[in-house]
Structure 1
């Protein structure tokens, strides 16, 4: 058997990945340990920024090359229209070329997106080993670590203008992707159906609206947490109650 050809095969199979099995738990432990080191031990480091940026960029180029050279669902699955793919690309380019707006998208979308993807696995239907499995975990792990580095080490913050720009960008992105999904019969950004099973059928427009609102709510919580506004409000509330 040609190992290289087998690794990059394109005929779908049944995935053998077990959620919260031994491999999954091991990956989550690595994610947590490195995240702790990044937050607690790391200082601003240009070499680390370039390392994360180039690893993510190579990961994305490899993934898209596979989609388009094998013609495997290249329009319905192979476009950079999932939240994490957008975050990975913007984070990579932002870190390499020092583009602030890209860094903001990568960081603000990346933390929530990476944690969600590492907990709820949405991989392609292939058994181990396969390019998509390595790409999935390498991409989301380095997205997580890069996002945490920007927020906790480099402290890029989130100003009122950043917050408003992110809400506008995120809402417009979702509206455009919703139209694309209906044209391609795809499920980018999970605006058609969630990556997990739910025992309820929503109106497509209602479901898409819920996804958009949830994502904007996450951005709002990030804005409040980054700027310590929740803690401040709790202190004010506590003072009012005590008095």
Structure 2
């Protein structure tokens, strides 16, 4: 058990991404099959928040890494917490915005994986995979409810404030949360941090609005087909 929670960095985790992609597909199928099950959504949200708490506590044991990586300032960690907040506070706009953010974040995380440098198995490996599975599942259920649709003003405001807070934290701490200061190692391109911030903010706004409009359009088409 101590080995599973070790703090000494010991190498590349060598994750089998093909198996991870297969697991993600299975997770999405399950979420879609039970998308109307509110109890499942509660379990997914609660489990993912618990995972973040466990990971946060683990980071507290490694002070240097805690400052650089342990704070909930990655987009996916923010999505986990804010989806839960939106659900509990009955703020469907918040839940829906961060559900889409979670889906975008999961695609990027698994498309350009950058897990912590611990050989498998380790807490960070497990949370990297499970967090994104749970994000994908809970996001799909929240979006499928179609309680609201996002508007441009809200998306711009939330995205800008979120990224600005992360950018300020990065500047103060010398960290690289949400890769707003430097691109992931898998993309070895030197880009000015202000350009990264601007492009990332614009792309997130476009991504959120585009995905939401496609989802709403498909839902409306489905309703029209049923009523025809």
TM over 0.5: yes
Does 194-203 or 105-114 show the bigger shift? 194-203
Report how far residue 72 of structure 1 moved. Answer: 4.7
Match of 2:23 in 1: 30
CA contact (8 A) 1:54 1:96 kept: no
The within-5 A match list for 1:115-194 is 115-152=107-144, 154-160=145-151, 163-194=152-183
Does 86-95 or 166-175 show the bigger shift? 86-95
Count of paired positions: 220
SS of equivalent to 1:59: helix
Q: CA RMSD in A?
A: 2.2
Are the structure 2 counterparts of residues 49 and 97 from structure 1 closer, same or farther at C-alpha, using a change threshold of 3 Å? Answer: farther
CA contact (8 A) 1:178 1:191 kept: yes
Match of 2:191 in 1: 202
Deviating beyond 6 angstroms after TM superposition, the runs of 4 or more aligned structure 1 residues are none
Match of 1:240 in 2: none
CA contact (8 A) 1:174 1:212 kept: yes
Q: Could you tell me the TM-score, scaled by structure 2's length?
A: 0.87
Superposed CA offset, 1:163-185 (max 9, x none): 42122011111122112211111
Superposed CA offset, 1:39-70 (max 9, x none): 2x224212101210111111010000000133
Match of 1:10 in 2: 7
SS of equivalent to 2:65: coil
SS of equivalent to 2:69: coil
Match of 1:216 in 2: 205
Q: Which has the larger radius of gyration?
A: 1
CA distance in 2, matches of 1:150, 1:136: 21
Does 46-55 or 123-132 show the bigger shift? 46-55
CA distance in 2, matches of 1:101, 1:43: 18
Match of 2:72 in 1: 80
Show structure 2 runs of 5+ residues with no match.
222-228
